[in-house]
Structure 1
Amino acid sequence: MRPSTENSSSIKNAIDQTFSYRRKWIMTKSPTVREIFKEYPRFLDMPSLMDIEFSKLTDGKEDMFIRKWEGTIIPKLKEIALLEKKMDIRQLLEKADSQDDDELCYTMLKVLIHLLPPMPSGRSAAGSKCCVNSAVSYLLEFVPAGTSVISLLTESMKGSLKSGQPQLVSIGSLGHGAQYVIVAKNDSFALPLDVDNLTCAVDRLFKFYWLCNLQYPCQLSSVFSFF
């Protein structure tokens, strides 16, 4: 069925009925991202289905990140970060006081990565610090406004993306009508998101990992586990 007002309830019912089969297929056969959405294309053009799937996987927690990030988690992050003596964190907090929603979200994601840094994996302390400073690029990359979604899958553009795992790409600057896209460069897959802010884009990316049963990127494993 193609999504429409008339077909919406039937499609949701079909997705519900196929849940157990789909999860078994994904868990045991490990299909690629492209294969999953080829088999179940309605997840692409009915984004609410991803929320429903995540709700069934997490006992109804589909809106918890959206509800808690700005009102509860960010204030707590600020309190904890104020106790830190690291100059990098203090500079981020100084910026946060005058930022709009998307810029504040991005700043606090950076603060969270500093507080929950990637495991050094045998690197030196200096290497670990470098990893912390660059880890956010495994979550969100920026490309100029006007960049087409299809061009994100060209070899030259994929080469500029840090992660082989799915990540967010912002077409345009934060707070200036940016379009958010999930790009899985290893599968040559791009999913434009129907969201208008970074918080919702991060929420969608996290659910994308769960729906596809993907391993978190090691650079963000602590942060994704926190989510």
Structure 2
Amino acid sequence: MYILYIFRFFIQKEEGMSCCSFLDLTEADLNLMELNMDRTEFVVQEDGSLISECNDDPNASQRIRVRSDIQERRNTQSMTGTNKVPLHMFSRFGTVRATLLHRVAEGQALVLAANGSFTENNRRALMRILISELIKVHGSCYPPDEAKVALAQAIVTEFPLLRNTRTKKGYEHYYDEETRRGFIEYRLWNVRRTLSPSQKKYKTKALDSGKTTPVSPNINLLSQEELDSKIAWMKCTNPSDSNKQNIATHLQETLQNRRDWIIKKSPNISQILHEYPRLLDYNGEMINNEFRYFFKEKSVNFLARFPSYYCPRILEYAKLNRLDVYNRLKNITDVNLRALFILADLLRINNAMLAQQGDKGKGKMKGKKRQRSSEEAEMIEKEKIDVPSTFLVRFAGTPLPQSIQEASATGSIIIPPYIVCTQEENGRNSYFVQGDGWLIKPRNNNPVTAFDLLFKVYFALKICYPAGLQIFYNFIESYVYDLGTKARGVVTSLHVNLSNLKLDKIASEEFIFGS
């Protein structure tokens, strides 16, 4: 361990001693030199040189102490040099809190935020400081997994509000040792981008083109003759109350054949609804049945959770941390609809992600949904189209952007389903799910039931989510419906912040279902 002393000491300039030379001295060296610590003092100038002054020096008040960055450099050199750094060590200061407080103003602000309302900007600053320290400790942009796990554990241990209570260990969003993913690894990836090829430890490898997964061969499909007979019956049957049960039965019996056809042939929305027009009937009940067949009780999760739990938290979070977004959307009177817009804005996809969804992003959906055309992502990025107000909810009298209409007319893109809000004569709003020229009006007409139906239409027809709403729908899938979908890091981070938000006082009448 290196010992620093502030003392006075007369020294000849020709001896060539500098402050760095002094910092290399150990306690044994100082004793060997027989220095009287009561009478001597070293003073380090701003340029790093060592000077000596007498006790009666009139300029004594202008001297400076050894700068902390010099000591930090010495500590780093001692750890990464002859002394082996423990694999689990992530900071020279021992804890996350001490590491942050070493940054004074910025660190203090982060400590306060981590114990209160933590934003995505806070999270990015946290990673920037901690990863910088992690790299210094190990002298490499490739620190050991043990250090990354220890850092992730320390973050959620010292700041419990940053823990993800929905996972086994609670820190996987910062670093998951099984997948080697998380905010710690993502920050290291960004740092490594500046390295030269010779400095990089691993070479990038092209991802597989994720082909769609067909229906399991163990599932019994109807013969073509049986399928054609049932489709013909549904096309010719009037969707009356008396025929409702038979229609529901026929749709369920043809479900596996329908999904196998959608996956293998990738028909568009109109082609699917031409073959199975009864999906549009009964105010979306047939669509809901299709979703319930796969997810059973989870079918009601959005209706049960979003208005009562997520809506007030999203609004409060925006009011505290994203006032610009909150004020821009405050004219939307329905709080649930406003919360959906805010959530889509908070999870707005960035330009880098949009670029990856062009030609290079084709076929990387791993079979979950049919891939989008690259033209859609390119158009959104090029023309700065506002995705939430274009592909989530549109109000009557606001046509789609001209470029989208033209691209749809030529067939280069398919307009995905979205909610249409219209105003009736009595002044009340009505909501429909619209897609490719067809409309479905939910039975209990309000924004919550309309979005619930919209989400299930995407699933039933296996439509890829619009470019720009990928992260938004990942949040809806992973946490609101709880479908077992792997949540993205930014989604988990926002959910942790929302879950730990303290709502001291909320007017209950403001959050009445469908208000």
**Shorter-chain TM-score range:** 0.7 to 0.9
Percentage identity across aligned positions? 25
Following superposition, the deviation at residue 135 of structure 1 comes to 2.9
Provide the C-alpha distance between the structure 2 equivalents of 1:122 and 1:53, rounded to a whole number of angstroms: 31
Alignment of 1:85-104 (within 5 A): 86-91=322-327, 99=333, 103-104=334-335
Residue 297 of structure 2: SS of its match in structure 1? Answer: coil
Provide the C-alpha distance between the structure 2 equivalents of 1:63 and 1:122, rounded to a whole number of angstroms: 31
Alignment of 1:129-140 (within 5 A): 135-140=388-393
1:105 aligns with 2:341: no
CA offsets, 1:135-177, max 9 Å, x none?
33321111249xxxxxx89x99956x9x82222222238x933
Distance 1:22 1:95, change over 3 A: same
> Which residue type is aligned with residue 143 of structure 1?
A
Structure with more of its chain in helix, by fraction: 1
Following superposition, the deviation at residue 119 of structure 1 comes to 2.4
Residue in 2 aligned with 1:201? 450
Residue 60 of structure 1: SS of its match in structure 2? Answer: helix
1:49 aligns with 2:286: yes
Provide the C-alpha distance between the structure 1 equivalents of 2:239 and 2:404, rounded to a whole number of angstroms: 32
CA offsets, 1:19-43, max 9 Å, x none?
1111111111111111111111111
Residue in 2 aligned with 1:214? 463
Distance 1:93 1:140, change over 3 A: closer
Provide the C-alpha distance between the structure 2 equivalents of 1:40 and 1:108, rounded to a whole number of angstroms: 34
Provide the C-alpha distance between the structure 2 equivalents of 1:156 and 1:2, rounded to a whole number of angstroms: 38
Provide the C-alpha distance between the structure 1 equivalents of 2:290 and 2:353, rounded to a whole number of angstroms: 38
Residue 468 of structure 2: SS of its match in structure 1? Answer: helix
Provide the C-alpha distance between the structure 1 equivalents of 2:352 and 2:464, rounded to a whole number of angstroms: 17
Residue 191 of structure 1: SS of its match in structure 2? Answer: strand
Provide the C-alpha distance between the structure 1 equivalents of 2:314 and 2:385, rounded to a whole number of angstroms: 17
Residue 141 of structure 1: SS of its match in structure 2? Answer: strand
Distance 1:93 1:170, change over 3 A: closer
Residue in 2 aligned with 1:170? 421
Provide the C-alpha distance between the structure 1 equivalents of 2:403 and 2:242, rounded to a whole number of angstroms: 42
Provide the C-alpha distance between the structure 1 equivalents of 2:330 and 2:242, rounded to a whole number of angstroms: 50
| The one of 265, 275, 290 aligned to 1:29 | 265
Distance 1:26 1:93, change over 3 A: closer
Distance 1:111 1:157, change over 3 A: closer
Distance 1:23 1:88, change over 3 A: same
C-alpha contact (below 8 Å) 1:78/1:93 kept by paired residues: no
> Which residue type is aligned with residue 394 of structure 2?
E
Distance 1:119 1:58, change over 3 A: farther
Residue in 2 aligned with 1:149? none
1:115 aligns with 2:346: yes
Distance 1:158 1:180, change over 3 A: farther
Provide the C-alpha distance between the structure 2 equivalents of 1:26 and 1:54, rounded to a whole number of angstroms: 15
Residue in 2 aligned with 1:69? 306
C-alpha contact (below 8 Å) 1:113/1:136 kept by paired residues: no
Provide the C-alpha distance between the structure 2 equivalents of 1:105 and 1:143, rounded to a whole number of angstroms: 19
Residue 4 of structure 1: SS of its match in structure 2? Answer: coil
Q: Which runs of 5+ in 1 are unaligned?
A: 146-151
Provide the C-alpha distance between the structure 2 equivalents of 1:133 and 1:32, rounded to a whole number of angstroms: 24
Provide the C-alpha distance between the structure 2 equivalents of 1:83 and 1:89, rounded to a whole number of angstroms: 11
Distance 1:95 1:167, change over 3 A: closer
| The one of 255, 259, 275 aligned to 1:19 | 255
**Aligned-pair RMSD on alpha carbons?**
3.5
TM-score, length-normalised on structure 2? Answer: 0.35
> Which residue type is aligned with residue 170 of structure 1?
C
Provide the C-alpha distance between the structure 1 equivalents of 2:467 and 2:298, rounded to a whole number of angstroms: 24
1:4 aligns with 2:240: yes
C-alpha contact (below 8 Å) 2:392/2:418 kept by paired residues: yes
* Structure of greater Rg: 2
Which structure's relative contact order is higher, taking Cα pairs within 8 Å and 6+ residues apart?
A: 1
Answer with 136-145 or 87-96: which moved more.
Answer: 87-96
Following superposition, the deviation at residue 90 of structure 1 comes to 4.2
Distance 1:95 1:54, change over 3 A: same
Provide the C-alpha distance between the structure 1 equivalents of 2:405 and 2:396, rounded to a whole number of angstroms: 12
Report how many aligned residue pairs link the two structures: 206
Distance 1:131 1:117, change over 3 A: farther
Following superposition, the deviation at residue 3 of structure 1 comes to 2.2
Distance 1:3 1:135, change over 3 A: closer
Residue in 2 aligned with 1:148? none
Residue 293 of structure 2: SS of its match in structure 1? Answer: helix
